[in-house]
Amino acid sequence: MKAVYTELHRSHDPQFFLVRGVIKRTTEQPERADRLLAGLKAGKHTLVEPAVFGQGPRARVHSADYLRFMEEAWDAWVALGDSGAEMIPNVHPVRYGATYPTHIVGRLGWHAADTGAPIGKGTYAAACAATDVATTAAQLVMDGEDAVYALCRPPGHHAYADMAGGFCFLNNSAVAAAHLRLTHERVAILDVDVHHGNGTQGIFYERPDVLTVSIHADPVFFYPYVWGYAHERGAGPGLGANLNIPLPKGTGDDDYIKAIGEAEKTIRAFAPGALVVALGLDASEHDPLAGLAVTTAGFRRIGAAIARLGLPTVFVQEGGYLSDILGANLTAVLGGFEEAR
């Protein structure tokens, strides 16, 4: 399996992470990519540089106001003259009867779901590079590859059409799915990150052509808390095209595989032409965020289960944070997929 990767992600090196009132160094660090690259090397995957697709793929899923904000944000922040090293919102998007702000502090709040996506000097460039990685992987699959892995950083599945949040700025999985829609009437997204793919759900919630399925730690106790419940099924033309499968804290391999089986039934019934896997590896028993307890062997089983769907597949890297087992888990899930194919 080919793997798409660029070193341009390193320009995004966030520092700020607010955890229960305590400021810590974020777990979404450039070192994540190094550990994932080690996993790709162990699996003998061929690295491919991404093509540059420009704004088009991003504009299919993100609003013009949001893309303009992301492009202008850092320079406007610096121009304030007394601003910090990262952009952290101090207002948030309570939009009831609200007016879109013109001041950069107001725009930052409008376009931020939480404080978990600090913007630095190189954030926008890295986020754009990540969408190029995802789009390149999708294009390779459209050109005939059976499956391709996209090592995207920063991740994307918490990013809405016009809001950043949870380490995410531009929604790489949504960008990949929208690109696949150029040649497929229906596309499915299967999100196996430990967190609910709330941004992806939001982008496609009223669309019948993209099925969004998310298997995640129950938001009753886990981020994002206010999205990801089983009753969220889509709306309008998209009613029934969204499936959430929340899992109890500490869920391990066997029960996770049962959830994959439930997702498989829905995906088969939808009959998509292609599949995007939002590949979070943070369901691991060793992940520092400690929501679920999937083993490395379990990740291999997850890869095999995805392979049995028999669909052209784009793996888009989402979460999975600093642990000694991160690279091995990536090797396992992609290896399990290849073996089952």
User: Tens digits of per-residue pLDDT, 6-42?
Assistant: 999 999 999 999 999 999 999 999 999 999 999 999 9
Give the Cα separation of 303 and 119 in Å (integer). 33
- The answer, yes or no, to whether residue 97 has pLDDT greater than 90, is no
Band (121; pLDDT cuts 50, 70, 90): very high
Q: To the nearest whole percent, how much of the chain has pLDDT over 70?
A: 100
Band (254; pLDDT cuts 50, 70, 90): very high
Query: What is the average pLDDT across 100-114?
Result: 96
Q: How much is the CA Rg of the chain, to the nearest whole Å? A: 18
H-state helical runs in the chain: 31-42, 56-59, 64-79, 104-110, 123-142, 172-180, 198-204, 253-270, 296-307, 326-340
**Token representation of residue 21:** 């009132």
Band (158; pLDDT cuts 50, 70, 90): very high
Give the Cα separation of 78 and 86 in Å (integer). 10
Per the listing, tokens 């969204």 go with 242
Band (291; pLDDT cuts 50, 70, 90): very high
- The answer, yes or no, to whether residue 310 has pLDDT greater than 80, is yes
Cβ–Cβ < 8 Å for 261, 297: no
The CATH number of the domain where 94 resides is what?
3.40.800.20
Give the Cα separation of 132 and 58 in Å (integer). 9
Give the Cα separation of 113 and 170 in Å (integer). 13
Query: What is the average pLDDT across 95-112?
Result: 93
Cβ–Cβ < 8 Å for 206, 240: no
Per the listing, tokens 């994540």 go with 32
**Total domain count, the chain:** 1
Query: What is the average pLDDT across 307-323?
Result: 96
Catalytic entry in 9, 12, 157, 158: 158
Band (96; pLDDT cuts 50, 70, 90): confident
- The answer, yes or no, to whether residue 93 has pLDDT greater than 80, is no
Give the Cα separation of 300 and 297 in Å (integer). 5
Provide the terminal-to-terminal Cα distance of the chain, rounded to the nearest Å. 11
> By three-state DSSP, how is residue 286 classified?
coil
- The answer, yes or no, to whether residue 107 has pLDDT greater than 80, is yes
Residue 294's domain comprises: 2-339
Cβ–Cβ < 8 Å for 150, 314: yes
**Token representation of residue 136:** 């390149």
**Catalytic residue list contains 158:** yes
CA distance readout (Å), 273 to 3, 73, 197, 267: 21, 38, 21, 10
| Dihedral sign of CA atoms 162, 164, 166, 168 in order | positive
Query: What is the average pLDDT across 72-90?
Result: 96
Cβ–Cβ < 8 Å for 212, 241: yes
326-340 vs 296-307: helix crossing angle, rounded to 10? 30
97: phi then psi, degrees, rounded to nearest 5? 65, 20
Please tell me the predicted confidence (pLDDT) of residue 43: 98
Contact partners, residue 99, CB within 8 Å, separation at least 6: none
- Residue of 37, 262, 288 lying closest to 149 (CA atoms): 37
Q: Tell me the pLDDT of the chain averaged across its residues.
A: 97
Query: What is the average pLDDT across 311-318?
Result: 98
Where is pLDDT greater, at 322 or 126?
126
Band (209; pLDDT cuts 50, 70, 90): very high
- The answer, yes or no, to whether residue 255 has pLDDT greater than 90, is yes
